[in-house]
Amino acid sequence: MPVRSYRELFAWKRAIDLVTEIYRVTQSFPKDELYGLTSQLRRAAVSIPSNIAEGQGRLTKGEFRQFLGHARGSVFELESQILIAQNLGYLTDGRGASLIEDVHEIGRIVNGLLKALG
């Protein structure tokens, strides 16, 4: 049975979970990072499920692929920002590694969707 809504997509569900976690961990970042790294992490994380949803709502497979490509780009952006947060000591190595594994999982799922779309 075809997917009727982006809310049925596992990639979207996992990305929403990651956004929630990114918001939780960035609450403890220094307040002077609110408009810097905190904002960048949150925006990149939010971009992933947003692009998946928008792409699934488009009319063609090509458009969906395009938006999945944007989501994939945000995956790499988010990974880079998590590494920066680790380097600055805002995240422990263990917490950062856990978040990066989540990011990698979502990246693999998005890649699978891209392959499935041809």
Looking at every residue in the chain, the average pLDDT score rounds to 95
- State percent of the chain over pLDDT 90: 94
Q: What is the pLDDT of residue 4?
A: 81
Q: What is the pLDDT of residue 101?
A: 98
The b/e string for 36-69 (b: 16+ C-beta within 10 A; e otherwise) is ebbebbbebbbbbbbbbbbbbeeeeeeebeebbe
The per-residue pLDDT for range 43-96, each reduced to its tens digit, is 999 999 999 999 999 989 999 999 999 999 999 999 999 999 999 999 999 999
pTM of the model: 0.94
Q: Domain coordinates of the chain in residue numbers?
A: 6-117
Average pLDDT rounded to a whole number, residues 98-108: 98
CATH class assigned to 6-117: mainly alpha
